[in-house]
Structure 1
Amino acid sequence: MKLLQLLSATLLVITSSCHTNAPAAEEKTAATGTPVTVANPETGNMEDAVVLNATSSFLLKTYVKAVANGYLQAANIKLGQHVTRGQLLFSLKTKEAENLGNTINKLDSSFRFTGLIPIKAPGNGYITQLATQAGNYVQDGEQLATISDDNSFVFVLNLPYELTAYIPKNNTVEVLLPDGQKLPGHMESPLPTVDSVSQTQNYVIRVHTTKLIPENLIAKVRLLKSLKPNAVFVPKAAVLSNESQSEYWIMKMLDSTTAVKVPIQKGMESDNKIEVLSPPLTAQDKILISGNYGLSDTATVSIVNK
């Protein structure tokens, strides 16, 4: 009997202790608040820009052709090779020259008649197509190779026609290659056609580089639409909106533990920042950039970064 009374008393003490500590723990959590991180508004230049694709291309391609019917005695080039103007590419010999040469050499061996017709490069560039090889019979006018001219290498920008008004502001642009390399470029005259489906016009961008860039490489070109100096902006993560994106707001620290909802008028968006047109913000303000989603108008928070 005494043992049962002792066990009952012990359970009563434990139960009372649990009920006493639970509210204390809840009060401690409530006092701590939602953990958040904050950042300060910044002032600087804001740019409104659009990024478009540009494709590398050789505008001028020269076709090397046979000048007579005959056999190619030698082919001194290979695909991808760089050639210079006047460089010997092929040696061509006609059947008539072969027969005439044998007859003349029999009459006078010192004459050394070869009858070879040299075919030389008309300009500087890369061999981008090779259609034949030594020993093949070719006909007059048949294409033997294609040379992509060095001086004709450009990037062709596919520009939506409604953006042509911004071209005068972007005579000098930067071409970003897929490997991260940036090339300075100069915007030249547009091609006098517009794609009937996409309504885009091609603009030629001339770049200066000694690096071999393959044709049909897609690069990025950033066109500046407008520039606003001394703009006040916050990180993109700080700006919240309703489902229809008709209202925007930020959560701003009122004191060390309280955050309040502040409706804003949004301006430009650039990279990972958003301009705040109103209300006025200062560099001393603390704006929530994480933990802000779903907070009430006046919320108790705990700043985890200083």
Structure 2
Amino acid sequence: MTRKIISLAALAMLGVISCRNKAEEENTPEPVVPVTVTSADTTAIESFTDLNATTSYLIKNTIKANTTGYIDRVNVASNDFVKRGRLLFALKTREAKVLGNTVNKLDPGLNFGNALLVKATSDGFVTAVNVQKDDYVQEGDALAVINDAGSFAIVLSLPYELRRYVAVGQQLDAYLPDGTIIKTRAERFMPTVDPASQTQNVILRYSGSQPIPENLVVKVRIKKAMARNTISLPKSAVLSDETETDFWIMKMTDDKTAIKIPIKKGIESGERIEILSPKLNPNDRILTSGNYGVADTIKVKITNPQH
């Protein structure tokens, strides 16, 4: 009898403890997640790709000796900018150098010792001077190299799968490393594709007056699509599964609650993503932080109350 009473008392005590724990669980407040929110943007959004391109002089003129002889005069140095027709070198043949003065004394009208002049064939920067005064050269030897100023271009290596987004005559923006944006025009496509990278070189012309050095790496923006009168959100507002097949956002239903909303996304542009469905209103508040790895419904505290 005593054992029965003890057992009943123990069961009663367990029941009391269980009820107390259940009551405590029910009274435990749900965790509140600090979040930031944003609203949907209705401005146009465009999809683009930025590709590397390199500035280059397509024509490099080699200035050659027009006779065999000695360099009598050097009138140019590396990095000089020269105009077409400027005197660069004067050459004298071996015979003129040895016999010139003697022959001219006999008959000054012969001008036997006159130097042969070598002039610039184009405007441009001199990138190399290979000789100095009194050097002996053979006819056809390279005396200097001039980058033809008229051949300046930006060479874009375009992946062939993006070929449909660029056309001859199309204007493209190029971004210099210092933040300057210049306008270029697609002039022509080179007839071959690189076998390893499967890229095709596109020649972009720049007609501005700003001096740009050779071999500068710039970014060229290729516009792929434009969506007007659309809804977009920051990339931080859009979440996905590991395979990136399902996408969703966390939307505020009141000042303290956010719920998971599956979405269908459109084009991506920089830091924004187009939302095709569901239709969002400009007044909707969407989580941009505190939204990762949470339940489908959460209690939140907005830390940027201006939204």
TM-score tier, shorter chain, comes to 0.7 to 0.9
Please tell me the residue identity of whatever aligns with 1:124.
Answer: D
Per the normalisation by structure 2, the TM-score is 0.86
Look up the match of 1:224.
223
RMSD: 2.1
Q: Secondary structure at the match of 2:89?
A: strand
Give the Å deviation of 1:110: 9.4
Give the Å deviation of 1:170: 7.3
Look up the match of 1:203.
202
Give the Å deviation of 1:248: 1.1
Per the normalisation by structure 1, the TM-score is 0.86
Decide whether the 8 Å contact of 1:183 with 1:208 is kept in 2: no
Please tell me the residue identity of whatever aligns with 2:234.
Answer: P
Quick one: distance in 2 between partners of 1:93 and 1:115?
A: 7
Quick one: distance in 2 between partners of 1:170 and 1:262?
A: 44
Percent of pairs identical after alignment? Answer: 45
Look up the match of 1:177.
176
Structure 1: unaligned runs, 5 residues or longer: 1-22
Look up the match of 1:144.
143
Structure 2: unaligned runs, 5 residues or longer: 1-23
Look up the match of 1:290.
289
Please give the per-residue CA displacement for 1:268-302, whole angstroms capped at 9, x wherever unaligned: 11111111111110000000111111221111111
Q: 1:209 to 1:74 in 2, by over 3 A?
A: same
147-156 or 94-103, which deviates more: 94-103
Please tell me the residue identity of whatever aligns with 2:292.
Answer: Y
Give the Å deviation of 1:106: 3.9
Look up the match of 1:71.
70
278-287 or 212-221, which deviates more: 212-221
Give the Å deviation of 1:206: 0.3
Matched, 1:273 2:275: no
Quick one: distance in 1 between partners of 2:168 and 2:101?
A: 69
Q: How many residues are aligned here?
A: 280
Give the Å deviation of 1:102: 1.9
Decide whether the 8 Å contact of 2:57 with 2:152 is kept in 1: yes
Quick one: distance in 1 between partners of 2:109 and 2:263?
A: 96
Decide whether the 8 Å contact of 1:233 with 1:276 is kept in 2: yes
Matched, 1:87 2:86: yes
Quick one: distance in 1 between partners of 2:169 and 2:87?
A: 43
Please tell me the residue identity of whatever aligns with 1:36.
Answer: V
Matched, 1:259 2:255: no
Decide whether the 8 Å contact of 1:170 with 1:223 is kept in 2: no
Give the Å deviation of 1:131: 1.4
Q: Secondary structure at the match of 1:211?
A: coil
Decide whether the 8 Å contact of 1:170 with 1:224 is kept in 2: no
